[in-house]
Every structure is written in C-alpha cells, then in structure tokens.
Amino acid sequence: MSPGNSAAAHPAAMAPMPRPVTRALSLAVGLVLLGGVLGVLGLGVGSTGLEAVWTMLADPVAAQIVWDIRAPRTVGAFAAGALLGLAGAVAQGLFRNPLADPFLLGSASGASLGVALALAGLGVSPFATQWVVRLGLTGAAFVGAVLAVLLTLALARGVQHTLRLLLAGVVVGVVLGAITSLVTLSVPEILQAMQAFMLGSTGFVGWASCLLMGGIGFVCLLLAWGLSRVLDGLALGEATALSLGLPLVPLRAALVGVLALATGTAVAQTGLIAFVGLAAPHLVRAVVKTTHAWLVLLASLMGGVLLMLADTLARGLMAPQELPVGVLTAVLGGGYLLWLMRRRVG
Amino acid sequence: MNNPLKYLGRLLPGARSGGRAQPASRHSAAGAGWRCLFVTGLLAWAGALRAAGIEVVDDRGVTVRWDAPPQRIVTLLPSLTETVCELGQCARLVGVDRYSNWPASLDKLPRVGGGIDPNVEAIVALRPDAVLLAQSSRVIDRLEGLGLKVVALEPKSHADVQRVLGKVGQVLGVDAAQSQRVWRHIDAAVSAAAQSLPARVKNTRVYFEVNRAPYGAGTSSFIGETLTRLGVQNIVPAHLGPFPKLNPEFVVRANPDLIMVGDRNFEGMTQRPGWRGIRAVREDRLCVFPDAESDVLVRPGPRMAEAARLMARCLQDKAP
C-alpha cells in the first residue's frame, strides 16, 4: 500500500493538525465567551421566564432581584461548577480512573450527613439549635465533607495506595450514606429538605458565597496547576512517576487536599450536584488532548459553563417553579457525553 | 328490631305451635326437620344483618368486609390516628406509626415503624383486625398477603378530611350521624376562626413555606384551603399545584406581607439573598411555629380547626 493511498483513506490526516496548545487556548477562549453569554442570559431568566434586564432595572424590587439574587446565583453556579470540574480533573488524574468523580473520597455522603444532623438538630434542644444556627447548614455540610475525607484517609492509612484509598472512600460513602438515611427516617420533617440537598440547588447562593467559592477556587486552581506535573507523571503509572524522581507521597497528599477542599466548598454551598465533576474533564478531553496543566483549567471552565447552563434552564423551563439543578446537569452532561461517544464510534 | 322474627313466625305456623305433640307420620316429621333447619338459617341470616356486617370501599377502590366492627386497629398515618381518636374510638387502637403523637394517650401504645418503613412483623404480632394506612404505603400488599384487612385512605384536602372521617367512622361501626356531627363541629370551628379576624386582615398576602427547599403551600393545597377560608390571599397561585418547589426569587417578587413557617425550616430564611427586602421580613411579620404546632398545621386531619385557629392567631398578631 502506497503512502498516497493511506493518506487518501484518512483525509483528516492531510489537514495540518492544530497544535494542542492552540486548540486548548481556543477552547478556553470559547468557554469564557460562552460563560459570558450565559451570564448575561442568567440575569434575564428568573421566576417570570426570560425578561429584559434594562426594564427590570427601572423598578427597585426588580433591580434588587437582578443584583442580589440572579447575579450572585449565576456567578455562584459558575464558581461551584468550576470547583467541581477542577476536583473531577484532579480525581481522575490522581486515581488514574476515568470513572473517578469529586465525591469519591466520601465528601458527598459526609456533607449529607452533616446537613441531616444539622436539620435534625434544629429544635431538638436549645443547645443543639444554638450550635446549628451558629454553624449554619453550609458550615455543617463543609465540616461533614472534610471529616469524611479525613476518615477515608485514616481508614486507608494514608495516601500511598490508590486502591486502598478508593475502597476506603467507597466504604465511607456507603456507611455515612446509611447513617444519613437513618437520621432522615427518624426525623421525617427533614425528608424533603434532604431530598433538595441531594439534588443540589443554586437558589440560595449570595455574594458572600460567591466570594468564598471564587477565592477557594482560585487557590485550588493554582495548587492543582502547580501539581499538574505529578498528575502527568501518574498518568504514566506509579512506577514511572517514581522513576521521574517525584516525591509522590507528599504531593499526592496535597492533591487529596485540593480535591477535598474544592469538593467540600462546592457541596456546602450548592448541595450534591451530580455529574459535573465526572463529565467536565471528559468533555474537555473529547475536544483536546493535552497536559494536566491545561486540563485542570479547562475542566474548571467547562464545569462552570455546564452548571451555569443547567442553572439557567432550571430557573427558566418551568418558571416560577424550579427544577432541581442536579437533574439538569445529569441530563445535559450525560447527553452530550453520550453523543460524543457515539460520534467517535461512528 | 324484632320485626323480621315476628314476620317469620307468622309465615311458619309449625314453628309457632311449639311443644304441642301431634300424631305424626315419618313424612311430616322430616318436613318439620327441614322447616326447623330453614328457620335456623333465616335466623342466622337475620342475626348477621343485625350485627351490621361492615363493607367499606377504600381509596384504592377495594372493598373491605368485616362481620363485626373491628376492635383491634393499627394506624400508620398520623392524620388517620387522629381521626380514629376524634371519633372517640382511641381505645380500639392497638398500635400506631412512630409519627403519630396526638393525643398524648397514644404514648403507651406500641410503635410499629413509620408509614414509609413499617415493621410488618410488629403489625402482624398485634393481631389487628383492621390496618388503616396511606395509599402510598409500600406495605399494603404484604399485609394483605398475610391475611390482614387493610384500608388505604389518604386525606389531602378539606373535602378529604370529611370523606375520611366518614369512611373511618364506617370501619369503626360508628353511627354515620356521629361522624357528621364531628365534621360539622370542625367545620364550624374553622368558620369561627375566620370570623374572629378583623376586616383589616382580609387582604393580607401570605406565603406559607412548607420546607426550606423551598416548597410553598399553594392555593390548592390543604393549607391553602384553610388560608382561603380565613379570607387572606396566598401568593402561590392554584395552577402551580399543591406544593410547588419555587424559585426563591418568586417569593421576593411576590413580596408577601406575612410569612408562616415552621421553626425547623426558619433558620437562615432572613439571610437568603434578597429576602431582607420582602415586606414580611423587613417589618418582622413572620410567624414561626414550633414543632408541635407545625404538626397541627401540615396534617390534613381532624385538627384542621386548631390549625385554622393557629393561623388566625398569627394573622391577628402580625398582619399589617
């Protein structure tokens, strides 16, 4: 077979492939632009469906709705999605497993248990109520998520063994989930509130939450970016990574720290939003094959845009009722991923 | 009451003639035997009629029958428990679900799990002759398979409360007139609560938050019906369904004059983005009900009059 024939059989190979960096850069720019458009759209979509923002700004109540509710909510959706996307990219790199998601180390079930206990504790005794009020549901969720990851680490006896870490995470997730169910069943008044937490919501994100998520997201992104060489090394296998002279144990511990912090922050503010963390890195990889330094950034942007889109739809589709945003992320992210897979097979 | 028997006596002179001996052939003796058997059968039939064999069609459309009014009853829904007690038949309860907490006399009864996770074994062990539960309960088939008589009733509206009172009354063999009387009493108390309100309250725009998701109580819900009868406006229109999950922004825009919420769901409400601007929050027109009162408010049962009084008290204290 002559070289000419083979090139004719694969016309795509004839076109000069853009360099991965160029592709990555253009994807980043594209996502930022899309995010900007969605952000503007997000200001106009609310309990009355789509409406013009400039007419709303004339009315003080409507203006307050735009600036104090919709704007932080939209920005918050981006920030939470970015945190989850980042955590997903880190988790998949760290565990060298395409099915890894941010909730793998038990943070989701820990956060649920925290929220369930806080909700159940409200009104049990003045003392408990006082504590719950001081900590807030957000605080309870964050504490729960962090404690669950620490428990996983303790059970896995450190971060050396990937498999042990994974198994410990699964065990912690299942056990804490069971305890959460127990708490929920014994105090049925919290059943619906728990259900809402499980499906995630961006409805109550204010500017303070945005600032918090933005700050932590920025720190996590910097850390993950700095540690991206470890992830690249791990992608070649642990032995190779070791032979590259990387001090794996402390660096992995740092990565687990980033994962836990990013996930815990997002979960505390918005509840368990499914699939963003899992899908965002895959969606990026479907477009561009690149190093982890780019992947963590692009997965963050992708996660943010995905959650913004889901949030806008959640508000708009059945206004003034709201769909659970987690349902929409699963439908959107899952649907797109399936389509990509089918296209590649075809 | 004895009419059927007298009538029977007249129909069958042989039965009436009693002890008087008659020269009888074999044939006539056999005839008397048959007649006797016939009479016994008729008597048994009449007896069954008098003991009022009970037949009730429940919310599934299933007909449940008893020969005599059931005496050992298990309820798996707080509003059904309350209905049984309101009809004065609390003493017939042998077990209740763990959420039934009114009246206080239930404290001594065994708990048989919740409506969602009932303990089949514990229920069967109580040997109930009737189990009252919600239609959505998963345990219905299992209990029926074990030979128990199950009545599924699910009150969701004011009309349902009346209907369920009647049905439970039927199951218990309570006089229909008494069930009616209990209902009229409840209904009158709701009207009285409405009439106790001053005219200024009438156009108050109210938001009742069922839980923090947030789910609001719509006009078509049980709670919404009570609000309507109290003559106030509900910010959640009927077309959204009984308990819609709302966009929090909807509440800010609707700007209710007064908010009713349970203690358990109140924490953090005023810190939600933009909620400080709501009139009810700004002017502190918030009725935060403690747990025991929340139970009364959210259960579609015979305590709806008390619920109406609680809401009326709230409106009197806090409405503009």
pLDDT value, residue A173: 94
Contact flag A205-B273 (C-beta cutoff 8 Å): yes
Residues of B in contact with A321 (CB under 8 A): 240, 244-247
Least confident of A50-54, A180-184, A208-212, B45-49: B45-49
Tokens of A339: 């389509």
Contacts made by residues B2-10, CB under 8 angstroms, sequence distance 24+: B4/B46, B4/B49, B5/B43, B5/B46, B8/B39, B8/B42, B8/B43, B8/B46
Query: Residue B34: which pLDDT band, with cuts at 50, 70 and 90?
Result: low
Contact flag A193-B268 (C-beta cutoff 8 Å): no
pLDDT value, residue A196: 81
Tokens of A41: 């759209």
Contact flag A47-B250 (C-beta cutoff 8 Å): yes
CATH superfamily of the domain spanning B56-174:
Nitrogenase molybdenum iron protein domain (3.40.50.1980)
Residue A320 in this model has a pLDDT that exceeds 60: yes
Give the H or E element holding residue A242.
Answer: helix A238-243
Query: Residue B289: which pLDDT band, with cuts at 50, 70 and 90?
Result: very high
Query: Residue B84: which pLDDT band, with cuts at 50, 70 and 90?
Result: very high
Residue percentage of chain B with pLDDT more than 70: 84
Query: Residue B288: which pLDDT band, with cuts at 50, 70 and 90?
Result: very high
Closest residue on chain B to A311 (Cα): B247
Question: What one-character-per-residue DSSP string does A77-134 give?
Answer: HHHHHHHHHHHHHHHHHHTT-TT--GGGGSHHHHHHHHHHHHHHHTTT-HHHHHHHHH
CB atoms within 10 A of CB B170: 18
Q: How far apart are CA A309 and CA A223, in angstroms?
A: 27
Q: Hey, is the C-beta of B237 within 8 angstroms of any chain A C-beta?
A: no
Residues of B in contact with A183 (CB under 8 A): none
| Cβ pair A255, A226 in contact under 8 A | no
pLDDT tens digits, one per residue of B178-221: 999 999 999 999 999 999 999 999 889 999 999 888 899 999 99
Closest residue on chain A to B116 (Cα): A185
Residues of A in contact with B273 (CB under 8 A): 68-69, 72-73, 204-207
Give me the mean pLDDT over the A225-246 stretch: 86
Residues of A in contact with B209 (CB under 8 A): none
Chain pair A-B, CB pairs under 8 angstroms? 101
CATH number corresponding to B196-318: 3.40.50.1980
Q: Which residue among A136, A204, A320 sits closest to B273, beta carbon to beta carbon?
A: A204
**Residue A66 within a domain:** no
Question: What one-character-per-residue DSSP string does A193-230 give?
Answer: HHHHHHH---TT--HHHHHHHHHHHHHHHHHHHHTHHH
Q: Which residue among A72, A129, A319 sits closest to B273, beta carbon to beta carbon?
A: A72
Tokens of A133: 């009020």
Q: How far apart are CA A101 and CA A116, in angstroms?
A: 23
pLDDT value, residue A18: 60
Q: Which residue among B114, B249, B271 sits closest to A188, beta carbon to beta carbon?
A: B114
Question: In sequence order, which residues have a C-beta less than 8 Å from that of residue A233 and are 6 or more positions away?
Answer: A240, A241, A244, A246
Contact flag A136-B246 (C-beta cutoff 8 Å): no
Query: Residue A17: which pLDDT band, with cuts at 50, 70 and 90?
Result: low
Return mean pLDDT, chain B: 85
Q: How far apart are CA B201 and CA A297, in angstroms?
A: 57
Query: Residue A346: which pLDDT band, with cuts at 50, 70 and 90?
Result: low
- Number of structural domains in chain A: 1
Q: Hey, is the C-beta of B138 within 8 angstroms of any chain A C-beta?
A: no
Q: Which residue among B214, B215, B249 sits closest to A47, beta carbon to beta carbon?
A: B249
Q: How far apart are CA B152 and CA A127, in angstroms?
A: 40
pLDDT value, residue B11: 41
Domain ranges, ordered by start, for chain B: 1-14+31-50, 56-174, 196-318
**Residue A258 within a domain:** yes
Q: How far apart are CA B317 and CA B320, in angstroms?
A: 9
Contact flag A189-B213 (C-beta cutoff 8 Å): no
Question: In sequence order, which residues have a C-beta less than 8 Å from that of residue A68 and are 6 or more positions away?
Answer: A206, A207, B273, B274, B277
With CA atoms as reference, report the closest residue to A78 among A307, A298, A292, A250: A307
Q: How far apart are CA A337 and CA A88, in angstroms?
A: 15
Contact flag A322-B247 (C-beta cutoff 8 Å): yes
Q: Number of helices and strands (H, E) in chain B? A: 14, 11
Q: Hey, is the C-beta of B242 within 8 angstroms of any chain A C-beta?
A: no
With tokens 């309860």, the residue in question is B93
Question: What one-character-per-residue DSSP string does B235-266 give?
Answer: SS-GGG-SSPBBPHHHHHHH--SEEEEEHHHH
Give me the mean pLDDT over the B308-318 stretch: 95
Which CATH number covers residue A242?
1.10.3470.10
Contact flag B273-A315 (C-beta cutoff 8 Å): no
Residues of B in contact with A185 (CB under 8 A): 114, 116-117
Q: Does B196-318 match B56-174 at the fold level? A: yes
**Could you say which DSSP state residue B157 is in?**
S
Contact flag B255-A201 (C-beta cutoff 8 Å): no
Q: How far apart are CA A79 and CA B209, in angstroms?
A: 29
Contact flag A136-B294 (C-beta cutoff 8 Å): no
Contact flag A321-B99 (C-beta cutoff 8 Å): no
Give me the mean pLDDT over the A100-121 stretch: 90
Maximum Cα–Cα distance across chain A = 84
Instruction: Give this complex's ipTM.
Output: 0.71
Query: Residue A178: which pLDDT band, with cuts at 50, 70 and 90?
Result: very high
Question: How many Å lie between the alpha carbon of A91 and the closest alpha carbon of chain B?
Answer: 30
Closest residue on chain A to B252 (Cα): A65
Structural domain including A250 reads: 103-272
pLDDT tens digits, one per residue of B167-182: 999 999 999 999 999 9
| Cβ pair A274, A330 in contact under 8 A | yes
